[in-house]
Structure 1
Amino acid sequence: MQNSVFLFCNKQAESYDRSVEGYDEQYRDVFAGYDRILSTVADKAGQVVLEFGVGTGNLTKKLLERGKQVYGIEPSAPMRKKAAEKLSGRAVILDGDFLQFPTPPEPIDTIASTYAFHHLTDAEKDEALAKYSQLLHPGGKIVFADTAFRDKEAFRQAIEEARARGFHDLADDLEREYYTTLDVLASLFSKHGFSASFAQQNAFVWVMEAVKQTT
């Protein structure tokens, strides 16, 4: 993962929670149903969860409320500080990212993340899923919620619509980050032994549930 991602996350630490609450008009549609989306991911997670991209701890909080054991990974020190304050030390939040991270001290049954997997290129997503396949036993699952697109045409239309609405920050973000398409994601999950399903949550975000198959 590139250093620019870490810098971006550091800058977001103070403003992220306001963005997800809809204060930034450009990203209002991206975060539409945010609380429901996080609840969906938390409800699908198993008992012992490895969470990537903890951010300010919003998903972590929901996982803890459901009695889950959470090992969180977050590359941004300011984000980790915010999460620690919000969670009052109820979860282990460690430095790391989707590709380089400390292995939890106990077997995990779910890998979870929200609004973060797009920071990886498709090649890095491939590398990450290979690692996760080794961590999970058959029946274990990956549950992610993130912006993705049905196909390349839908991706192109989203950028054009953002520009037409004057949402240039959103359009630039869509072009700068590594958002991908459902067929690419399905292929990557399948390559590493997962059976994946996708459920659209708003105009941008899908919940992806991928269950590790028996090898």
Structure 2
Amino acid sequence: MGREFIPIFSEWAKQYDETVKGKDEEYREVFLHYPELLANIAEKAGDSVIEFGSGTGNLTLELIRRKKTVFAIEPSAAMRQVAEAKPELSQVTFIDGDMEQFPQINFPIDTIVSSYVFHHLNETEKQRVIKRYKALLSEGGKVIIGDTMFLSPEHKESILRQAIKANHLRLAADLQREYYPLIPDIETYFRANGFTSRFKQINAFVWLVEARGEKE
């Protein structure tokens, strides 16, 4: 369910916003065009949104600025604390939960979003949550994901070798530890659950996925 990574994010919480601004050299390429990615997700989202892994609230803020109704779900208390301290997010309730275990939302939802989160699920969990999200969404609803993913195992291995060669050892360990998906697999998982998906590359690591549920 990805909760095994909470200690990492709890430690990272106070520095996360500096990292996404490119202040950490190892992760600079991973977060290249980060503001544009968040804006793109927010612009594509419908009016009522569940955000999984809301972290320090950066995507939440983009959604709120566009007058969306947002249910922000985040498992790390340290991350929630940073988000709650941001004045523009003072009216947002950040909910304790993760991509699989979260309180029932008694409100029609037309979009589910996440950024830099989906890779915390293993392949079985990815398939399971996509099936569940289809049931949660209104007819024709969307799942929008921004995350690191790869075209093939060879592509992933090439990126890993580049990280090691650059002595970006924390990034290399991250790429080996977590469950970064392959694009063909993600497309298959969505198609199996009645979604049509589109992929757009953001940088050398990150892709934007927009999966729309087919109307019955």
Query: TM > 0.5 between the two?
Result: yes
Q: TM-score range by the shorter chain?
A: over 0.9
Unaligned runs of 5+ in 2: none
Q: CA offset at residue 57 of structure 1? A: 0.1
Aligned to 2:157: 156
Measure, in 2, the Cα distance between the counterparts of 1:116 and 1:173: 13
CA deviations 1:170-215 (Å, max 9, x no partner) are 1110000000110000000111111101000000000000001123
Distance across 2 between alignment mates of 1:3 and 1:194: 27
Q: CA deviation at 1:90?
A: 2.2
Distance in structure 1 (CA, Å) of the matches to 2:152 and 2:51: 27
Residue deviations 1:10-40 (CA, integer Å, cap 9, x gap): 1111111010011110000000000001000
1:20 corresponding residue in structure 2:
20
Instruction: Report the residue type matching 1:210 in the other structure.
Output: A
Equivalent positions of 1:169-208 (< 5 A) are: 169-208=170-209
The question of 1:56 aligning with 2:56 is answered yes
Residue 80 of structure 2 is aligned to residue 74 of structure 1: no
Partner of 2:84: 84
The runs of 4+ residues in structure 1 deviating greater than 6 Å are none
Q: Is residue 49–residue 68 contact of structure 1 (8 Å, CA) maintained in 2?
A: yes
CA distance in 2, matches of 1:2, 1:125: 11
Equivalents in 1 of 2:92, 2:167: separation in Å? 40
User: What is the SS of the residue equivalent to 2:156?
Assistant: helix
Instruction: Give the distance between the partners of 1:114 and 1:137, measured in 2 at CA.
Output: 21
Shift of 1:84: 1.0
Which letter maps to 1:111?
A: I
Please state how far the C-alpha of 1:92 moved relative to its aligned partner.
2.3
* In 1, Cα distance between equivalents of 2:2 and 2:141: 29
1:31 corresponding residue in structure 2: 31
* TM-aligned CA deviation for residue 128 of structure 1: 0.8
SS at match of 1:109: strand
TM-score by length of 1: 0.97
Deviates more, 1:114-123 or 1:88-97: 88-97
**Structure 1 spans left out of the alignment, 5+ residues:** none
Match for 2:143: what amino acid? I
Which residue type is aligned with residue 187 of structure 2? A
1:41-61 residue CA offsets vs partner (Å, 9 max, x unmatched):
000000000000000000000
Deviation at 1:114, TM superposition (A): 0.3
- Which residue identity lines up with residue 140 of structure 1 in the other structure? G
Work out whether 1:94 is the aligned partner of 2:104.
Answer: no
- Identity rate, percent: 42
Per-residue deviation, 1:3? 4.2
TM-score scaled to structure 2, two decimals? 0.97
1:211 alignment counterpart:
212
Partner AA of 1:25 in structure 2: E
**Partner SS state of residue 42, structure 1:** helix
Contact 1:196–1:211 (8 Å) recurs in 2: yes
**Conserved in 1, the CA contact under 8 Å of 2:61 and 2:89?**
no
Cα distance in 2 for residues equivalent to 1:143 and 1:60: 14
Please tell me whether the aligned partners of residues 69 and 91 of structure 1 are also in contact (alpha carbons under 8 angstroms). no
Deviation at 1:104, TM superposition (A): 1.6
Measured in 1, the distance between the counterparts of 2:44 and 2:2 equals 30
| CA apart distance, 1:93 | 1.2
